Amino acid sequence: MNNFTFENPTKLIFGKGTIAQLATEIEKERRILICFGGGSAKRNGVYQQVKEALKNHRTWEFWGIEPNPDYDTAMKAVKLARENQIDFLLAVGGGSVIDAVKFIAHAIPYEGDPWELIVDNTLVRRSTPLATVLTLPATGSEMNHRGVLSRRRTLEKVSFITPYSFPRFSILDPEVTYSLPTKQLANGVVDAFMHTMEQYMTYPDHNLLMDRWAEGLLMSLIEIGPQVLLQPHDYDTMANFMLCASMALNGFTGMGVPQDWATHRIGYELTILFGLDHAQTLAVVYPALLRVLKQHKRDKLAQYAERVWGIQFGSTDEKADAAIEKTEAFFQQMGLHTRMSQYGIPAEAVDTIYNRIQARGVSYGENLLVTPQVAREIYQNAL
Ligand code: NZQ
Ligand code: ZN
């Protein structure tokens, strides 16, 4: 087991009718900027609930944070916040709104060029308090210190990690998910599944509790995934989904374990170059990554096959193969494609992506297995 420090200061407020608690969770004297996406919050009544709860607070609004939030959009909110001496940020939305708000919070008091904060996260030494009302279970951003920002102008999608990004509190009312389109539900299940896999599917590490927690999350997501698509208005189904997604990336399954994250990192390329949703990139890259790295991950794949998929017979190799097939089939069952060609992405993309990763000179994954050359093999395998 690796050494680790665990801290998660985010208060989780979970259940029906909890948006009303905004009234007491945020101090009366705060000047609050509420940030939203493109309008779903107005259509499903979440906006009205938030406004009602904060009717005795001073609030400003910023609308239009897009999926895969853009630096330039976030900077417009920074300007608005500075002009109005905002001292509290409330994100109402999915991972994109929350991630943008994390960046906005850090950029408000920063005196240099705010992009520097993304390039060197240690420059974040002050921030603005933030909280969230989550409307889309997927990223875990509501309870973690991560964020991902895109800069379309320069074709970059970059993640940033700083303890200042933990929300003070997050409100999770499963009823607000009833309005989610099928595509976003499927994306959310696959993203949460992949967050668990990235912290689990490496090599046997004798971390008994982390393995069991991860396996519990994976089994829960496999069980509720199809139900989420079939009965998206069932409270318990959506409550389970919401809880799983938050627990999948809040540090609880990551204590002392080796971690991978290569699929996430190389998958960003498919979003910034071809506009795929985040989870769509994961469903394309991951089965290919497992096929390419099967020998390295074989023993853990066999453990996953046995414990999560109940595959008891066969050699270690056969179990590993079966586990990869099951994983790909699960993504397909959720309605996601698992090949680049299914999105119309041409074969030349493999070299384009390879050249970009090569230019960065970085490798990813546990033991840095995914060199630019291996990333190329994975993309070739995913065509
Ligand atoms: O913009 P609006 O109109 O609100 O519509 C959104 C958006 O179009 C819609 N939506 C959200 N809640 C809804 C709803 N529609 C109906 N009813 C509701 N209740 O859903 C669409 C997608 O929203 P978005 O926030 O983009 O999705 P998601 O939560 O999947 O976030 C994706 C972003 O998070 C990053 C991704 O890379 C991507 O940029 N990630 C962040 C992580 C983190 N901070 O820890 C980890 C992840 O691995 C991920 O990389
Ligand atoms: Zn993700």
Structure tokens at 42: 């107005």
Q: What is the pLDDT of residues 146-196, one digit of tens each?
A: 999 999 999 999 999 999 999 999 999 999 999 999 999 999 999 999 999
The ligand that comes nearest to the alpha carbon of residue 138 is: 1
Q: What percent of the chain has pLDDT over 90?
A: 100
For the stretch 129-141, pLDDT in tens is 999 999 999 999 9
**Average model confidence (pLDDT) across the chain:** 98
Global pTM value:
0.98
In ligand 1, the atom with minimum distance to the C-alpha of 46 is: 19
Burial class (CB in 10 A: 0-12, 13-18, 19+), 197: buried
Cα 124 from Cα 165, distance rounded (Å): 9
pLDDT band at 316, cuts 50/70/90? very high
The answer to whether the CB of 93 is under 6 A from ligand 1 is yes
Residue 370 tokens read as 């995914």
User: How much of the chain, in percent, has pLDDT values that exceed 70?
Assistant: 100
Please tell me if the CB atom of residue 145 comes closer than 6 angstroms to any atom of ligand 1: no
Q: Is 253 in the pocket of ligand 1 (CB under 6 A)?
A: no
Instruction: Please tell me if the CB atom of residue 136 comes closer than 6 angstroms to any atom of ligand 1.
Output: yes
Give the number of C-alpha atoms closer than 13 A to the C-alpha of residue 342, restricted to the C-beta side: 13
**Mean pLDDT on 206-234:** 98
How buried is residue 201: exposed, middle or buried, by Cβ count under 10 Å (0-12/13-18/19+)? Answer: buried
Tell me the three-class secondary structure of 131-191, residue by residue: EEEECCCCCCHHHCCEEEEEEHHHCEEEEEECHHHCCCEEEECHHHHHHCCHHHHHHHHHH
The residue type at 64: G
Q: What is the pLDDT of residue 109?
A: 98
Helices then strands, each counted (H, E), the chain: 15, 8
pLDDT digits (tens, 9 = 90+) for 15-60: 999 999 999 999 999 999 999 999 999 999 999 999 999 999 999 9
Helix 349-360 and helix 372-381: axis angle, to 10°?
160
pLDDT of 183 reads 98
Q: Which of 135, 170, 184, 282 to mutate to test the pocket of ligand 1 (most atoms within 8 A of CB)?
A: 184
Here the tokens at position 199 are: 């912290």
Q: Which atom of ligand 1 is nearest to the CA of 268?
A: 37
Mean pLDDT of 353-373: 97
pLDDT at 226: 98
196 touches 248 (CB < 8 A): yes
What are 237-273's pLDDT values in tens digits?
A: 999 999 999 999 999 999 999 999 999 999 999 999 9
pLDDT of residue 206: 92
Closest CA to 237 of 185, 169, 183, 171: 185
Cβ(174) – ligand 1 distance below 6 Å: no
Sign of CA dihedral 319, 322, 326, 327: positive
The average pLDDT across 317-321 equals: 98
What is the atom index within ligand 1 of the atom nearest the CA of 150?
Answer: 39
Q: Ligand 1 pocket, 170 CB below 6 A?
A: no
| pLDDT at residue 79 in the model | 98
Task: Say how many Å lie between the CA of residue 188 and the centre of ligand 1.
Answer: 8
On whether the CB atoms of residues 272 and 152 are closer than 8 A, the answer is yes
For residue 63, count other CB atoms closer than 10 A to its CB: 15
- Ligand 1: centre distance to CA 313 (Å): 40
